[in-house]
Each structure stands twice: as C-alpha cells, then as structure tokens.
Structure 1
Amino acid sequence: MSQHPLLAGRGFYLGPLFRRAADRHGAVFVTLDRPLDTHPSLGVHLDYRTLADLVEELSGRLWAAGVRPAERVAVHKTDNVDIMLLTCAISRIGAVPALLSPGLAPAVVAQLLERLDRPWLITDRARLEGPLRGLAPSVRRILSVDDAPGAETLGRYAGAEPPTPVRPNPREPALITHSSGTTGVPKLAVHCPHAMWNRLVPQQAMGWPTRRETAALHMSFVHSRFYHLLGVLLRFGSPLVLITDPDPAAVGPLLARHRPGIVETHPNTFVLWEELADAPGAPLSRVTSYGSTFDAIHPRTVRRLLDASTRRAPRLIQLYGQSETGPVAFRWFTRRSAGRADGRRVGIGIPGFTRVRITDAEGRRVPPGTPGRIEARTRGRVLTYLGAHEQYERQLDGGWWQMGDLGCVSRLGALRLIDREADRIDAVHSNLEIEDALMERLEELREVVVVAGADREPVPVVCVRGERPLDPERWRAATADLPAMAEPRQWRFEELPMTATWKVKRVEITRMLAARPSGGRA
C-alpha cells in the first residue's frame, strides 16, 4: 500500500496532545471519578489547561530524575488516569513509554521487564508492597508516584523546569504496549509515530459527526486504542469524563450528571452497563455514538444501548483489529440495523488504509464466503515484537498480517468473524455464534463462554446477573436447537480470567476446568 511522499513523514505524537488541545480550545472540562495518584490534591474537576500543565510538570520531574530520549520507561501502577499523563510526559521528552497493565500477574510483569532490557520503572506502593513484593525486577531505577519503600519518589523532583519537547523520528519506536495475552504471555508491540498517525486519521474521520460532544470513557489506559481516541477527542475539543470504576452504581449517577453524547468502553463492560438503559436519571439518554472495540459485541447489548438513547439517530461504531494492527475493519449499528444484526459481521476494511483477505492453511486466498484465516494489510502495523522479532516475522506473509482469527469475506467485502484459531472446537461451527444465541435468549446471562473441555467437547461456562442459580428448564429450552454441549458450569463473573480490556482468556478457562472437573459453582 504505497503512500504519497508528503505523508511519509507524518507522525502522531503523544507528548504535545494536551498542550495543543488547550491552545486550540481553552479550559474544556475533564472530570475524573477518582483523584490522580500523582496529584491527589487537585480533586476530580480538571480541564485541558490543567492537564497540559501536569504533563509538562511531570516531564520536568522525569528529566530531572535522569530519563533521556530513546530510553524505555515502564509504567506499571494502580489503574488511574495518571497512567495517561505519565505516558504523555514520557513521550514529551522523547523517551519510550512501555505500558504494563495493572492486571498482569507478577511473573508476567517480571518477564516483560526483562524483555524491556533494564528500563526505568514507574510504579507505586500498592504494586511494590503487593504483587511485586519479593520480585527483583531487572530495571535501571524505580520511581514511585507516592512514598513507596525501595523506590525514589517522583515528588522529590517537583518544581523541576520542564525541558524543551523532543520530537523523535516518525519511524522510530515511540510507544510500547502489550498484546492481550489471551493464549499465553503477552507480546510487547512496538509502535512508531508514523504507524500511529495512519491509525489516527481514519478514526478522526469517523469521529467528525460527533465533534465537541461530551465523551465518557472507561478504557484501558495501557492500550493504544485509548490514545488514538484521546487524540480524536482532544482535536475536536470534546469535554471528557474518564472512568476507572465500571460499577453501574457509580457510573450511572456520573453519566446522569454529565449527559455524554459519546460513550466508549470494552464490549464486556457494555454488557454490564445494559442495566444503565433504564437506570434513574436516564444516564444514556443523550448518547449519539457508542464506541466498541477490542472484541465483537453481542446484538442484545447493542439494541439495549441504542434504545436507551432519546437522540434521533444514535449509532454504535464497532472496530475490529488488534494491538499490532490497529483497527482493520469497521461497521456501525443503528436502531433499525441492530434488530437484524449478525453479531459476527465485523465490517469492511478502511478504504485507503486497510485491506482484509481470507486464506487457507497453505496461505492461498480463498473465494468469497469460504471460511479460512483472516489476514490484514495495514499502514498502522507495529514495528516488531520487542524481544521476539522472529515470532513477529512468522505472522507476516508478504506484508499481510495473520490476525489469528477464522472468518470469511462476502462478495461485497464484509468480514465475518467465526472464532479465534486457538479456540476452535471441531464439534461446533462457531463458539461465538452459540454465545450470541444464548445471550439473546437468556436475558439473565451476564456472560457465556464456550470452551473446549478435557476431551475437546464444548463446555459452556455461564455467569448469571445477581449470581442467581441458572434455571435448568430455561437453559434446556434455549439450547434445544444448538449443537450438543456439556452441562453448563456456573461461575461468578469475577472468576473469569480477563485481560486489561476485559477479554476472556478462554485457554485459561480450559485449564481451570481441568483443575476442577466436578463443575458446578465455584
């Protein structure tokens, strides 16, 4: 996919994001649901100018501590909005932020820090006295946002003069995030400003109709998608409501106060937020655009969200992609289309930016409608996997990236997702289709995941709202025309192993089932 020479040097840089937004739009409000760990005294009512000042102030602290351009700085701390501010501050001085989810297991964190080759580490007391206790991470120095023992506090450098911003080459590493890790240890994906710009531009075009609408976001602050959405919203001057706690009891009143026109979160969080559709204060009544990425979303959830809005033509935009590629396909739902929606149809390639094809096991392109492996060609692809370049190269086929999913493409180019390759069960055509059907028929379900059992039989693991017992008669009626499956295993939702973006780790569930073969409630 060739590119015009004038566009080849373009880049998306995180360091100047808030300052540019503040210069363009002024003191647009930004509301948090909890104070920053780096600046708790500021409370939860901030604005673009305040955040721009904080990014520059934090960059001064980091520079005074000794962080320099091109050095890697791992951020692994309690989930909060200051992860975003630290990321922008690290970027502002030309260093490379490496964002590690607060939900990662300690042993995984240790492995990723090893791959980062003695990075700086920014963390906090909760990490060092909790999950990281007893670990001796291989890092250059440990900086803490609070007074954690064994670390140097960033507060020591408060008031340091911010350095002149550094703008790295657009094709050099500028951000490191990790893959979901649904099938093992996450990979470290290395992003450059040029590829990030090629992800940003089409997302700006999609966001144009909702410019300046208040946006409420509950997303992983360590995922690249968050920063691209942030770039879109700041460019358009949207007021922001940034949420760390997804509990509907807390989110409902917050959204009712701010009446957002844009709401974006993870698909599984949207399932949780279905109950906001008729919550006191009508918190979703002014939404004109929902955003869903990271995974396909259940049609039942789409309908409930769209029906909760009183806007004339609300829509839900779904992006399909990976950390390694950014979005490669998109679609949107309206009230009318949601009624007949196929939850597995994830859209078309982004014209001018991405293409999608289906291949067989030998890498040959297959005809439309034929199932096979999904491959994508995109200008937004990451540079490499840090410490695992050979694995990165194995996923490439002449510039086409193997997504690790099975699907098919229609004659008109619409992509339909069948399953992850690693989750394939021979006895069923698609685990995901079964899950959509069950979520549709049993409104009491908060989640259902069909995984392979000990003998590769399909085993449904279900979570019921309010932890009520699953009604066996309703289950039998709902599954009567579905492929034969083992008896359902009812778990608490909190037991499901999840990634930072609330993707279910299906391989891990299979391991857990093997460890508790008796089934039933945990």
Structure 2
Amino acid sequence: MSPLFPALAAGSTRPALQFGDQALSHAELATLAGALAARIAGAPRVAVWATPTLGTAVGVVAALLAGVPVVPVNPKTGERELTHIVTDSSPALVLAERGVELPPILAELARLDTDVDHVTDATGVPGEAGPAAPLPAEPSPEAPALIVYTSGTTGPPKGVVLPRRAVAATLDALEDAWQWTEADVLVHALPLFHVHGLILGILGPLRRGGSVRHLGRFATDGVARELSSGATMLFGVPTMYHRIAEALAGDPALAKALTGARLLVSGSAALPVHDHERIAASTGRRVIERYGMTETLMNTSVRADGEPRAGTVGVPLAGVELRLVDETGAAIAAYDGETVGEIQVRGPNLFTEYLNRPDATAAAFDDGWFRTGDMAIRDPDGYVRIVGRKATDLIKSGGYKIGAGEIENVLLEHPGVREAAVTGEPDEDLGERIVAWIVPAQADAPPTAEELAAHVGAQLASHKRPRTVRYLEALPRNDMGKIMKRALRG
C-alpha cells in the first residue's frame, strides 16, 4: 500500500494544518508527528483527547504513522460513557494537549503531550525546503487505523474498527467525486472525534496534499473570513448551514465569500430544502450532500460535476456497491423514485468489526453486505433519497447520531422518574431535538427539565441532553408492554 499521506512522506512545504495562529506545513507535520510516532511505536492502542486543536490532529497523525490504532475521545463525554469506551478499548496511553486536565480514568494512563510550540520544518529552519524526515514503513492495508465509538439504539456505544484500507478508499473516492486536489483549502469547525470532522476534515486534506483551516468553533464570520482569503471548500452539518442561511440576508460579506467557494458540502443528517434554497438564492452556490456512517465511512455523494439536487445524497461512490432490499431481504431492482428499501452496502470502505463484539459484527452483515438500517428510494438516474430509519430510535441532532435507548436508561436512574421515553422532533436549527417523555415518580413534584438535562449531561455527552421535556400520567404501550413511540410523536 502506498503511504496514507504522500505529501508527508515527500516532505512537502505546502501548508497542511492551521488552527488559529498555529500552523504546520506537511514537512513540519512530518517532523513533529514522526518524532511522536517513534515514541508510541509498538503500543497496542492509544487514546487521543480530541479537542478541536492542532495538537489533536498531530496526535492522530502520529498514531497513524506509527501504525498504532487510535481511539478519538470526545472531551464532553459523560463519566459512564467514557468509562465504557476506555474499558472496552484498553488504550495503553493517552495523547493530549499540554496543560489539559484529563478525567481520572484517562489520567491513570501514561500520557504524552502533543506539544506543537516552536515547530520548524524538516530542515530546522522555518520556510526552507529540505528532505523529509524518514517516516515509519506503511502498515498493511488491513491494519486497524482508528476505533471510533458510535451509539446504537440500545446499549453502550460500540467500537467501530476502521482499517487503513477503508480510510484510503473513502478519501480517494471523494477525490474523484469532489474533484479534490492539493490546491484545495478546506475550512470547517467540526469536532475531531468522529468521521466527518476527523477523517474527512483533517485526514482528507492531508491525503490530498492540500490544507485545512479549522475554526475551533463555528461562526459565520470565521467562515466568511477564510473563504475570502483562499479557502475553496466548506464542510458542515445542517445546523451550521441553517445558521448560515439565517445570517445571509444581513451579511453581504458572508454571501460574497460563499459565492466564491468551489464546493459546499453538508453531511451527518439531511439538510432541509428550505435552507438549500435560501443559500442558493443568496449566493448562487448549491450545497451538495453525501451519505455515510461510522461503519462504512462514505457511501454516496452528489458529485461536483453532477446535479446538486436538494433532498438527495447523490450516487454511490467509486468502489461502493449499494442496493436496496425489501422486508424479506430480496434486492429491489426498481429505480422508480417510489419503492422504499433498506440500504445495504459493500466495498473497500467498510469497517472490519465491532471491537469485542463478534455477535454484533455478524448480525450487521448479510452475506457480505452491511445492513445500514437506513431506508431509501432510488431515482431513475440512480440518485439516492433517504427517507428514514428502519428503527425508530435513532435521533439526528446537530450532526450527531444519538441512540434514544441510552438516554432513557440514564433518565430512569433519576429518583424523580418512574417511566421515560425519548424521541426526536423536527427542529429548524438542530435537524431534530431530543424530547424526553416522563412519567414522574410524584405527579405533584416532577423533576424540572433543567434538572433532567443536567442529570443526562453528567453521564453522557452534552449533546445527548433532552431539549424538551413532556410529562405524562402513563406512557402508551402495546399488549406486549412495549412503548409505542409513534403514538408519542402523534
């Protein structure tokens, strides 16, 4: 397998990473990450405390250069979820920014700081070209690259083992679909502990030999500034594009900046057609959407040279086979824009396994095809339109995929809660907001919405807190005692 990051191996002096006033060329990154890689070589796994910083990117790249599987950890993860992730993945050490305080379970591990101060390139003199520092040999394509934890609809998160082959295949397929080159400069403000922000947003530009400018935190003025000063691409989730759409009418500088962008990409959930149209009307630019999962990385996308049709996620990427199946598991041949089926995919973009879960791994596949659980239709020209989940318990909020079951379990531990159910509800900003349906232990003294949100936030990631709480005398159940969530959504 060729190097995962050819520009690092070649010692390119082109810009690579920028976070605020900190920046590295490919050669500087090779020097810094290469030195860190030598220190962690041979470790079974490492955790990276994934703050939106340059140090996080350096730590992940170092682990990948060393051939050590990296577990990105969301710094906002609650104690219970974090304990599960660390116990399940058993990292030998943790990489973190210098000075960052870690929670106790990570503080117990050996720690290496990803210090990026006073960095020079491979020559020792900033800005001068020179031979790249020797980097470790490229591991096998099937070697694990990352273990990314994803929430299911029930139970604790599962560790998705992503091989180097899958990372390379997805990024190369996007090179084709998006006409992505070393000349592109990406701007984004996504978190660095999931596929969209880390693999697409950081590793993607590095594999292409281009650069990325991370905003740290999303702000429309930051987007306008970077797109007006050389950035060519923007990655975001629907919540970000909704805020852009809201701001455009009163911000001509933002409209001008977006007009000059080569590519605007939205993912992680469906972008409402209303926001598509507002952005297009103000800028003349169409946002394109793509579709992927932690287990599959990217499956489909609207192509840069294709029709940016709102409400669709485009066509299968190069190397990806996609089919729809009916309730019996039979493949649906019709491309009629009407027949609904579950999406199944196979190809080099797929994960290897769920860590420590052979049962779940086996259940996820149908004769080599991965069962996504997403329901879709295909238009006559092959465009895919996702219409919902096979299960009803997955909530897409602010770009995150959230399992209702784990929130319900935490709510039920609150002494003031007798019964609990969690659903999603349409939200213009978040896509969906989390709604908790509560039967209080004492009808005359129910726990407040703020109290319940804080309770969930203390155990799980902050984005899993309910935004709305509704109180009931009893939850609707069927004859088998199962909660009828469709009746709640009513």
- CA distance in 1 between counterparts of 2:470 and 2:52 reads 29
The aligned residue for residue 89 of structure 2 is: 116
Change (3 A) 1:116 1:239: closer
Q: In the alignment, does 2:30 pair up with 1:52?
A: yes
Classify 1:244/1:458 alpha carbon distance in 2 versus 1 (closer, same or farther; 3 Å). closer
Separation (CA, whole Å) in 2 of partners of 1:342 and 1:455? 36
| Residues 187, 214 of structure 2: 8 Å contact kept | yes
1:28 and 2:15 correspond: yes
Secondary structure class of the residue paired with 1:258: coil
User: Which whole-Å CA distance do the structure 1 matches of 2:82 and 2:421 have between them?
Assistant: 31
Which of 314, 336, 349 is matched with 1:347 structurally?
A: 314
Shift of 1:410: 3.9
1:227 corresponds in structure 2 to 199
> Which whole-Å CA distance do the structure 2 matches of 1:128 and 1:367 have between them?
54
Give the 3 Å change call, closer, same or farther, for CA 232–342 of structure 1 in structure 2.
Answer: closer
Counterpart AA for 2:275: T
SS in 2 for 1:216: strand
State the secondary structure of the residue aligned to 1:227.
helix
**TM-score under structure 1 normalisation?**
0.67
CA distance in 2, matches of 1:333, 1:324: 24
- Letter matched to residue 28 of structure 1: P
1:143-172: CA deviation from partner (whole Å, max 9, x where unpaired): 1538xxxxxx999xxxxxx88514222212
1:276-315 CA-to-partner distances (Å, cap 9, x unmatched) read: 53525333231121122222222222233344446xxx44
Partner of 2:268: 294
CA distance in 2, matches of 1:138, 1:47: 31
State the match for 1:193 in structure 2: 164
TM-score (norm 2): 0.71
Q: Within 2, Cα distance between the matches of 1:455 and 1:215?
A: 42
Match for residue 302 of structure 2 among 323, 328, 331:
331
CA contact (8 A) 2:178 2:304 kept: no
**Whole-angstrom distance in 2 between the partners of 1:457 and 1:68:** 44
Confirm or deny: 8 A CA contact 2:264 2:288 kept in the other structure: yes
- Alpha-carbon distance between aligned partners in 1 of 2:51 and 2:208, rounded to the nearest angstrom: 29
Assess if the C-alpha contact under 8 Å between 2:295 and 2:351 holds in 1: yes
Indicate if the aligned counterparts of 2:160 and 2:354 stay in contact, CA closer than 8 A: yes
Structure 2 CA distance for aligned equivalents of residues 32 and 154 of structure 1: 11
The alignment status of 1:393 with 2:380, answered yes or no, reads: no
CA distance in 2, matches of 1:455, 1:91: 42
Deviations 1:220-262 (A, max 9, x none): 322344334545534554343212201335x255336525221
Q: Aligned partner of 1:386: which letter?
A: L
Larger relative contact order (C-alpha < 8 A, sep ≥ 6)? 2
Runs of 4+ displaced beyond 6 Å: 451-459
Q: Which residue number corresponds to residue 404 of structure 1?
A: 373
Decide whether the 8 Å contact of 1:330 with 1:350 is kept in 2.
yes
Residues 58-207 of structure 1 correspond to what in structure 2 (within 5 A)? 58-60=36-38, 63=39, 67-69=40-42, 71-123=44-96, 128=101, 132=103, 135-136=104-105, 141-143=109-111, 145=113, 165-180=136-151, 185-207=156-178
Counterpart Cα distance in 2 of 1:290 and 1:503: 28
1:284–1:308 Cα contact (<8 Å) kept:
no
Partners of 1:107 and 1:248 in 2: how far apart?
34
For residues 92-144 of structure 1, what are the alpha-carbon distances to aligned partners after superposition, in whole Å with 9 as ceiling and x for unaligned? Answer: 22222111222322211110111113532224688646xx2xx44596x3315
State how far apart, in whole Å, the 2-side matches of 1:303 and 1:22 are. Answer: 43
Residue in structure 2 matched with residue 360 of structure 1 by the alignment: 326
Gaps of 5+ in 1: 1-9, 34-42, 147-152, 156-161, 426-430, 436-445, 466-489, 518-522
| RMSD between aligned residues | 4.5
- Structure with bigger strand share is 2
CA–CA separation in structure 2 for the residues paired with 1:28 and 1:138: 33
Q: CA deviation at 1:11?
A: 5.7
> Aligned letter for 1:355?
E
- Is contact 1:182-1:504 (8 Å) kept? no
Secondary structure in structure 2 of the residue aligned to 1:281 = helix
| Counterpart amino acid of residue 31 in structure 2 | D
Q: Distance in 1 between matches of 2:98 and 2:55?
A: 15
Answer whether contact 2:77 2:462 (CA < 8 A) is retained: no
CA displacement at 1:411 relative to structure 2: 4.6
- Write the deviation string for residues 458-496 of structure 1: whole angstroms up to 9, x where unpaired: 87464679xxxxxxxxxxxxxxxxxxxxxxxx99xx99x
